[in-house]
Amino acid sequence: MADQPDVVIIGAGIAGGALATVLARNGLDVLVLEKTQVHRDRIRGEWLAPWGVAEASGLGLLDVLEGAGAHYTTRTAPYREGLDPEAARTRSINLAALLPDVSGALNVGHPRLCEELDTAACKAGATLMRGASSMSIELGECPRLGFNHDGRRHEISPRLIIGADGRGSEVARQSGLHAEADPVHHIIAGLLVEGAGAWPQDEQTLGAHGKATLSVFPQGGGRVRLYINYAIAERRRYAGAEAARNFLAAYRVPSLPFGEALAAARPIGPCHGYPNADSWIDEPVTRGVVLIGDAAGHNDPTIGQGLSITLRDVRLVSEIILSGDRSDRAFAPYVEERRERMRRLRFIGRLVSTLHAEFSEEARQRRSRAWDRTGADPATGLPLMSMLKGPDALPAHAFEQEAWNRLLA
Ligand SMILES: Cc1cc2nc3c(=O)[nH]c(=O)nc-3n(C[C@H](O)[C@H](O)[C@H](O)COP(=O)(O)OP(=O)(O)OC[C@H]3O[C@@H](n4cnc5c(N)ncnc54)[C@H](O)[C@@H]3O)c2cc1C
């Protein structure tokens, strides 16, 4: 390991593994520090929006994702209560027709993808140290970094430190970069299952049914990632020994086809809930440190944008690093673009949460009105397309109050 690597990346998740691969492939000396010894299912992103697939392709990482077992869904069907499933299916969106050269949305196991990215980074020449701990950062034009590994203390002076250590980032904390956060609106719980081959493997869904928003994201071969959104007042609805059983039972509803098959599927991962709240850092860059991915603030997971956001971060930050100027000033375009991107996606997160993850009678009626409006005038639903096509696919006014009122008032 060099004492002065070009770049040290803290965290070997999606953000860290992807950035390390891209930089090392371009000849940089990259060190990656990861605190865990093995990546596990922590109920994290496994659905990559079509615009994220385009980012992966632009980064030259599509082969790594496909090597991790990526599976495309090509149709999103708006199953929801009060609507016959056959009628819902006729209003499906064709995910393969949204962006040039993008075959749909991509579904892949999170731990497996992290492993594949780490392997690709090492193959390209990056050094990965697992089990790193007790990190200390000294900010500056030439930042300093201390950490423990294999019973030894290391002190190094990289040219740049990248914080890719996810939610509640220690790099952000030590660098004095504070996140702002929205209030919690609802809880999102997830569970990975297998033996659900009856569900059409090319079709995904997200919609409200009774007191839950049910999502289904197939990963191929009968393996499916399921998410449920539910009211914060019932925070512990899927907790304890019966969590997975109760979670799966929620899929037994007449408004969801193959609900019985999903309810009978086998859990193959943990089941628990997270608060949905969005969080953001407006200036994720400071003397010698740049944050990317969830470390720089995470979008509401209800709309599944985190992986795409992360890959966009990797593209913008890698382009700047590879241009040769690693001063704070050089990262200004990244900071500016990310701030607006996150503002837009925060707006969409709030919109979708209000539309799909509220469960009172009033909320039901609001959903029904919104459905009629988008049927009569598809332009009212356009802001929602940014979840699939990307936050810059529409003009800025699509993310303002007026657009909200047109759909939800
Ligand atoms: C319930 C839920 C559902 C989601 N669903 C989706 C979805 O469907 N689609 C989507 O696009 N996004 C989704 N997301 C968001 C997505 O998971 C994240 O945006 C994405 O994982 C961010 O990647 P990351 O590499 O920044 O962070 P992480 O994936 O959290 O990786 C961070 C890495 O850093 C390591 N680390 C942490 N601290 C340290 C330290 N001090 N030193 C060294 N290493 C450290 C961790 O062990 C980990 O390996 C979801 C999130 C949640 C919570």
What are the φ/ψ torsions at residue 301 (nearest 5 degrees)? -65, -15
pLDDT < 70: residue spans in the chain: 1-3
**247 and 368 share a domain?**
no
User: What are the structure tokens assigned to 210, written together?
Assistant: 């009774």
CA separation for the pair 158, 143 (Å, rounded): 7
Residue 130, pLDDT score:
98
Closest CA to 16 of 113, 154, 147, 151: 113
**334 and 397 share a domain?**
no
pLDDT of 303-320, one tens digit each?
Answer: 999 999 999 999 999 999
**267 and 376 share a domain?**
no
What are the φ/ψ torsions at residue 108 (nearest 5 degrees)? -155, 145
Residue 4, pLDDT score:
86
**Residue 109 Cβ contacting ligand 1 at under 6 Å:** no
**Residue 305 Cβ contacting ligand 1 at under 6 Å:** yes
On whether residue 49 sits in a domain, the answer given is: yes
On whether residue 350 sits in a domain, the answer given is: no
State how far Cα 130 lies from the chain centre: 23
Mutate to test the pocket of ligand 1, among 41, 44, 128 (most ligand atoms within 8 A of CB): 44
Q: What is the residue range of 192's domain?
A: 76-98+186-274
Gap from CA of 364 to ligand 1 centroid (Å): 32
**CATH classification at residue 31:** 3.50.50.60
On whether residue 2 sits in a domain, the answer given is: no
Structurally, the chain folds into a number of domains equal to: 3
Strand 47-48 and strand 127-130: the pairing is unpaired
Last-in-domain residue among 223, 246, 274: 274
On whether residue 148 sits in a domain, the answer given is: yes
Gap from CA of 313 to ligand 1 centroid (Å): 14
Which ligand 1 atom lies nearest to the CA of residue 225? 8
**Residue 189 Cβ contacting ligand 1 at under 6 Å:** no
Gap from CA of 195 to ligand 1 centroid (Å): 26
Closest CA to 106 of 61, 74, 59: 74
**Residue 284 Cβ contacting ligand 1 at under 6 Å:** no
**261 and 206 share a domain?**
yes
On whether residue 393 sits in a domain, the answer given is: yes
What three-state secondary structure class fits 170?
helix
- pTM for this prediction: 0.98
On whether residue 60 sits in a domain, the answer given is: yes
On whether residue 347 sits in a domain, the answer given is: no
Q: Whose CA is nearest to atom 23 of ligand 1?
A: 14
**CATH classification at residue 213:** 3.30.9
Residue 237 contacts residue 197 (beta carbons within 8 Å): no
**89 and 138 share a domain?**
no
**382 and 267 share a domain?**
no
Closest CA to 210 of 352, 73, 359, 328: 359
Last-in-domain residue among 247, 274, 301: 274
**143 and 228 share a domain?**
no
Q: Whose CA is nearest to atom 4 of ligand 1?
A: 45
On whether residue 237 sits in a domain, the answer given is: yes
Gap from CA of 295 to ligand 1 centroid (Å): 8
Residue 2, pLDDT score:
59
**56 and 160 share a domain?**
yes
Query: What does DSSP assign to residue 382?
Result: H
The identity of residue 14, as a single letter, is: I
Residue 58 contacts residue 207 (beta carbons within 8 Å): no
Q: Which residue has the tokens 């009968």?
A: 222
CA separation for the pair 406, 408 (Å, rounded): 6
**18 and 137 share a domain?**
yes
Residue 196's alpha-carbon distances to 77, 226, 267, 387, in angstroms, are 17, 11, 10, 26
What are the φ/ψ torsions at residue 275 (nearest 5 degrees)? -65, 145
User: What are the structure tokens assigned to 215, written together?
Assistant: 């999502």
